[in-house]
Amino acid sequence: MALASRTCDDASVAEQKIGVCNLCEATCGLLLTIEDGRVTGARGNPDDPLSRGHICPKGVALGDIHADPDRLRRPVRRIGKGPDARWEEIGWDEALDIVADGIARAVNAHGDDAFALYLGNPNAHSLGALTHGLTMVQTFRTRNKFSATSVDQLPHQLIGHQLYGHQLLLPVPDIDRTSYFLVFGANPMASNGSLMTVPDFPGRLRELHERGGRMVVFDPRRTETAKVADEHHFVRPGTDAWVLLAMLHTLFTEGLTAPASYVDGLAAVEAAVAGFTPEAAEQASGVSAEEIVRITREFAAADGAAAYGRMGVSTQEFGLVCQWAVQLLNLVTGNTDRVGGAMFTSPAIDAVGRGLIGRGHHDRFRSRVRQAPEFGGELPVSVLREEIETPGEGQVRALLTIAGNPVLSTPDGVALDRAIDGLDFCASIDIYLNETTRHADVILPPTTLLERDHYDLPFHVLAVRDTARFTPAVFPKSRDQRHDWEIFRDLHLRVNRRLERKAPLRRRLVAEARLRMSPTFLIGMLLRTGRSGVTLTQLRKHPEGVDIGALQPDQLPSRLFTRDKRIQALPDLVAGDLDRLRRQEVPTGEELLLIGRRHQRDCNSWMHNTDRLTRGRTRHHLLMHPADLDARGLVDGALVTVASRVGKVEVEVKATEDVMPGVVSLPHGYGHQRDGVRLAVASQVVGVSINDLTDPDRLDVSGNAVLSGVPVTVS
Ligand SMILES: Nc1nc2c(c(=O)[nH]1)N[C@H]1C(S)=C(S)[C@@H](COP(=O)(O)OP(=O)(O)OC[C@H]3O[C@@H](n4cnc5c(=O)[nH]c(N)nc54)[C@H](O)[C@@H]3O)O[C@H]1N2
Ligand SMILES: Nc1nc2c(c(=O)[nH]1)N[C@H]1C(S)=C(S)[C@@H](COP(=O)(O)OP(=O)(O)OC[C@H]3O[C@@H](n4cnc5c(=O)[nH]c(N)nc54)[C@H](O)[C@@H]3O)O[C@H]1N2
Ligand code: SF4
Ligand SMILES: [Mo]
C-alpha cells in the first residue's frame, strides 16, 4: 500500500499513501505524499470508486491539522479561569482520573441527570466514536444528552422514523441517474452534500446536465449551487413549507400522483394540503404561483426525479413539515425507491438493517425545565443553558463535550458560554482548545484521522453509490497519544468504578466487552457476518475502495421498519403541525430575516488555524441587498450592528444582489474572540458568531433549533 519512492536529491524518502478525508460527508479518497512524517502533498484518489479523484481545499489541509503545533497531543489541565487561564500538560492516568472523579462526584451527589453530555459533528466522522463513544454514552443514565443533531438534521431523522420506521432509513437522491433534481435549502457546491454523500458534486452535476437533466434550486441566497442550477428561485426564509405543500396540493388537484401500493393515508394528505394553494404560497414565500405549478408538473413528468431538502429547510420553524413534504413529493409521484429518484443504499455494513443504529423513539421523556420532547434519547441542545442554570433536582452540574463547540454552534452562544463557565465541572474530548473547551477542567485529546484506521459506518448508508473502503492509519500514533476509542473505554471503566449506583451488571459487562475490542476488529467482524461478501482482507488489498454498484431499486416495502411494512403517509405529529401552520398568519415579508451560510474553505467552527484555508479575502461579512442598505442609509463595507431578540453583534456589511431583498446572511462557525481570548485561530480570521443572534426559544416541533429566518435589525 505504501509505494516508497526516492526523491531526486534523495535527502528524504517521499512515500505515497492512500488516505481518506473525514472533514465532511463526501468522504473523499486521497493520495498523500509523506515526507519526514509530514503530509507534503494531497490529491484526490482517481481509483476511488465513490469519490473518483475529487478533493477540495479542506482535504488538502488535512495534513495541516496533523502538523499544527497548536493541536493538543497530550491531556491538559486548566489553571485559573477566563482570560487568565493557563494550561498545563498532565499524564493520561491523572487526566482520566480527574475527569472520572468530576463526573462521578456530580452523579453521586446530585443524581444521574446532574451530568450532561454534548456530542459534536466530528463524532459522526470517527470510527472509534461510533463503535466506542456511543457505547460509553449509552451507559450513562442521564436524560441530559445533547448533540449537534438538534441544530442540524433532527427533522430528517424524526421523519425517517415516522414514515419508514427508522431514523436513518432515509432515501438519497440518485444523482447519477436522475433527470430532475429539486433542491431546497442546500448548497452542495460548497458543502459537498449532506445526508447525501456525494463526492465530486460538480462533476456529477455536469454529467446530469450532459444527460439533459435539470437542477432547480430554492434558496434565499444565490449560492454557488444556485449559480450552476438550471433555475434558481428566491424563497423568503422560513416559508418553504408553504411552497412544498402547494406542490403537493398541485399533484393532487392535477391528478399527477402515482404512489406505490404500500403507501396509506393519501386521502388524508390530500385533505390536509387542500388549503395550501400556490397562491397562498406565493404570498408567503415570494415564489410565483405559476412557477410553483410549472415546476410541480415538470417534476411529476420527469423520468426519474428526486426532491431533496437540507439544512436550510431543517433549521426553520416548520422543519419537520418541510422534510415530510420533501419525502411526500418523492413518494406521491412514485419516485421513492426508483432509479433516478430517491433511493436506499445497500452498504457492505448495513448499520440500519442490522440494528447498529437504533430505530429512534420520540417523546419518551421531556426536558426538566421546558418540557421539550426527546428524540432517540437526546434532548434539544437549545435547552442546555436552562438545564444548567435552573436550580432544582436534575440541574446539570457537570458537562462532558466530545468533539463539539456548542458555544459557537448552538443558539444564544453568549448565554451558554456564561452557563458553562458556572458549572461545577467540565471536561472535553477534543483536539483543540476552542470557545467551549476553554471552560474544561481537563481536555483529553485523541489522535486525529491520519493516525487512526477509518471505515465510514454512517456515510456509506447515505451515499449516492454503494461502495466499501477501509483506510489504515497513515501515521503511527506516538506512545503518549490515545485513540478516541481508548479514551472512551478507559473513561467508562473509571467512571463506573466510582459510581455509587452502577448500571445493571449485565449491561455493564456487555459494554465492557465491546469496548475492549478495537474498532478495526469490530469492522472485520461486521463484514464477516454481513451478507455483502466484502471482507476486511479484500478491503486491505484494495485501500482505494471496492465498488458494490449503483443504488438498487425496489427495496420497499421489505426494508421498511414499520410494523405492517406499510407507510402511513400522514403521521399524527405532522398533521398536528400542519394545523399549527394553518393557524399562522401568512408571512408578510416586512421583517429583515437572517440566514446562515457555509463556505467551501470553512469547516463548521474549526480549521480556522490553517493558513491554507484562511488567507486571502475574508468571508465573515454580513451579506445584504443594496436596496436594504440604501433604505437604512448604510454603505458597503460599513461596520453595522445586527440585533435580534437575543443579542447583537458588530460586523462589516457587504452589498450583494446574491441575497434576496429582506434577507441578510452571516456565516456560522465564526466569532472566536471571547473574553478577549483567541484560541487556535489564525490571526487573519475575524468575524462574529451568528449564534449570538439565534434564539434558543424557537424550536421546530421536532426540537430542532430555528437557525434560519431570525428576525433582526441592522443599523
Ligand atoms: N447558526 C447556525 N448554527 C449552526 C449551523 C448553521 O448552519 N447555522 N450548523 C450546525 C451544524 S450542521 C453542525 S454539524 C454544528 C457543528 O457544531 P459542533 O459539532 O458543536 O462543532 P464543530 O464546529 O463541528 O466543532 C468540532 C470540534 O471537534 C473537534 N475535533 C475535530 N476532530 C476531532 C476528532 O477526531 N476527535 C475529537 N474528539 N474532536 C475532534 C474540533 O477541534 C472542534 O473543536 O453546528 C451547527 N450550528
Ligand atoms: N465547506 C463546508 N462543507 C460542509 C460544512 C462546512 O462547515 N463547510 N459542514 C458540513 C455539515 S456539518 C453539514 S450539516 C452540511 C450542510 O450542508 P448544506 O445543507 O448543503 O449546507 P448549507 O450551506 O448549510 O446550505 C443551506 C442552504 O440553505 C439556505 N437557506 C437558509 N435558509 C433557508 C430557507 O429558509 N429556505 C431555503 N430554501 N433555503 C434556506 C442557505 O442559504 C444555504 O444555501 O455541510 C457539510 N459540509
Ligand atoms: S469534499 Fe473536501 S472536505 Fe469533504 S471529504 Fe472531500 S476533500 Fe474532505
Ligand atoms: Mo451538520
Instruction: Report yes or no on 220 lying in a domain.
Output: yes
Residues 399, 337 within the same domain: no
Instruction: Report yes or no on 167 lying in a domain.
Output: no
CA dist 427 and 101 (Å) reads 11
CATH code at position 230: 3.40.228.10
Mean pLDDT value across residues 429-451: 97
Instruction: Report yes or no on 137 lying in a domain.
Output: yes
Mind listing the pLDDT tens digit for each residue in 649-666?
999 999 999 999 999 999
CA dist 510 and 658 (Å) reads 54
- Nearest Cα to Cα of residue 196 among 306, 298, 38: 306
Nearest CA to ligand 2 atom 39: 185
Instruction: Report yes or no on 161 lying in a domain.
Output: no
Show which of 43, 67, 91 is a domain's final residue: 67
Mean pLDDT value across residues 232-247: 98
Residues 541, 400 within the same domain: yes
Residues 288, 429 within the same domain: no
Instruction: Report yes or no on 370 lying in a domain.
Output: no
In this structure, which ligand is nearest to the CA of 23?
3
3-state secondary structure of 667: strand
Integer-rounded Cα Rg, in Å, for the chain is 25
CATH code at position 517: 3.40.50.740
Q: How confident is the model at residue 6 (pLDDT cuts 50, 70, 90)?
A: very low
CA atoms within 13 A on the CB side of 155: 29
Residues 209, 325 within the same domain: yes
CATH code at position 27: 3.30.200.210
CA dist 93 and 115 (Å) reads 21
Residues 45, 99 within the same domain: no
CA dist 378 and 394 (Å) reads 15
Ligand 3 within 6 A of 328 CB?
no
Ligand 2 within 6 A of 606 CB?
no
Ligand 2 within 6 A of 595 CB?
yes
Residues 210, 330 within the same domain: yes
Q: Is the pLDDT of residue 392 over 80?
A: yes
Nearest CA to ligand 2 atom 25: 186
CATH code at position 629: 2.40.40.20
- Nearest Cα to Cα of residue 219 among 243, 198, 242, 237: 237
Q: What are the cell numbers at 461? A: 448508508
Ligand 3 centroid to Cα of residue 605, in Å, is: 16
Q: In a mutational test of the pocket of ligand 1, which residue from 151, 443, 481 has the highest number of ligand atoms less than 8 Å from its CB?
A: 151
Nearest CA to ligand 3 atom 2: 56
Q: How confident is the model at residue 11 (pLDDT cuts 50, 70, 90)?
A: low
Ligand 4 centroid to Cα of residue 554, in Å, is: 30
Q: What are the cell numbers at 193? A: 452534500
Cα dihedral: 311, 312, 316, 322 (round 10): -90
Q: What are the cell numbers at 668? A: 456560522
In this prediction, residue 445 carries a pLDDT of 98
CA dist 125 and 363 (Å) reads 27
Ligand 1 within 6 A of 409 CB?
yes
**Contacts of 642 by beta carbon, 8 Å cutoff, 6+ apart:** 594, 622, 648, 649, 650, 651, 664, 666, 693, 712, 713, 714
Residue 229's region, left for phi above 0, alpha for psi from -120 to 50, else beta, is beta
Ligand 3 centroid to Cα of residue 43, in Å, is: 11
Mind listing the pLDDT tens digit for each residue in 627-636?
999 999 999 9
Burial of 698 from C-beta contacts in 10 A (0-12 / 13-18 / 19+): buried
CA atoms within 13 A on the CB side of 388: 25
Ligand 3 within 6 A of 45 CB?
no
In this structure, which ligand is nearest to the CA of 193?
2
Mean pLDDT value across residues 81-85: 86
Ligand 4 centroid to Cα of residue 65, in Å, is: 20
In this structure, which ligand is nearest to the CA of 147?
1
Give me the chain's average pLDDT, please.
96
Nearest CA to ligand 1 atom 23: 605
Q: How confident is the model at residue 684 (pLDDT cuts 50, 70, 90)?
A: confident
CA atoms within 13 A on the CB side of 491: 32
Ligand 1 centroid to Cα of residue 436, in Å, is: 11
Among 84-88, 231-235, 617-621, 672-676, the least confident range: 672-676
In this prediction, residue 8 carries a pLDDT of 47
In this structure, which ligand is nearest to the CA of 50?
3
Amino acid occupying residue 544: E
For ligand 2, what atom is nearest to the CA of residue 312? Answer: 28
Is residue 172 within 8 A of residue 343, CB to CB? The reply is yes
Residues 452, 539 within the same domain: yes
Ligand 2 within 6 A of 190 CB?
yes
Ligand 3 within 6 A of 199 CB?
yes
* Backbone torsions φ then ψ of 20, nearest 5 degrees: -145, 150
Cβ neighbours of 7 (radius 10 Å)? 11
How many helical (H) and strand (E) elements, i.e. helices and strands, does the chain have? Answer: 26, 31
Residues 113, 53 within the same domain: no
Ligand 3 centroid to Cα of residue 440, in Å, is: 30
Is residue 273 within 8 A of residue 245, CB to CB? The reply is yes
CA dist 443 and 424 (Å) reads 15
Nearest CA to ligand 1 atom 35: 448
Residues 527, 408 within the same domain: yes
Q: pTM of this prediction? A: 0.97
CA dist 556 and 337 (Å) reads 7
Ligand 3 within 6 A of 23 CB?
yes
Residues 390, 487 within the same domain: yes
CA dist 450 and 66 (Å) reads 7
Q: What percent of the chain has pLDDT over 70?
A: 98
Ligand 3 within 6 A of 27 CB?
yes
Q: Find the domain containing 59 and state its range.
A: 2-67
Residues 302, 437 within the same domain: no
Residues 611, 651 within the same domain: yes
Is residue 592 within 8 A of residue 713, CB to CB? The reply is yes
Q: How confident is the model at residue 589 (pLDDT cuts 50, 70, 90)?
A: confident
Among 83-92, 488-497, 565-574, 673-682, the least confident range: 673-682
Residue 637's region, left for phi above 0, alpha for psi from -120 to 50, else beta, is left
Instruction: Report yes or no on 363 lying in a domain.
Output: no
Q: Is the pLDDT of residue 3 over 50?
A: no
Burial of 210 from C-beta contacts in 10 A (0-12 / 13-18 / 19+): exposed
Alpha carbon 333 to chain centroid, angstroms: 28
Domain count along the chain: 4
Instruction: Report yes or no on 553 lying in a domain.
Output: no
Q: What are the cell numbers at 305? A: 426525479
Instruction: Report yes or no on 166 lying in a domain.
Output: no
Ligand 2 centroid to Cα of residue 180, in Å, is: 20
In this prediction, residue 512 carries a pLDDT of 94
Nearest CA to ligand 3 atom 6: 28
Secondary structure of 23-56 as H, E, C letters: CCCCCCEEEEEEECCEEEEEEECCCCCCCCCCCC
Mean pLDDT value across residues 384-406: 98
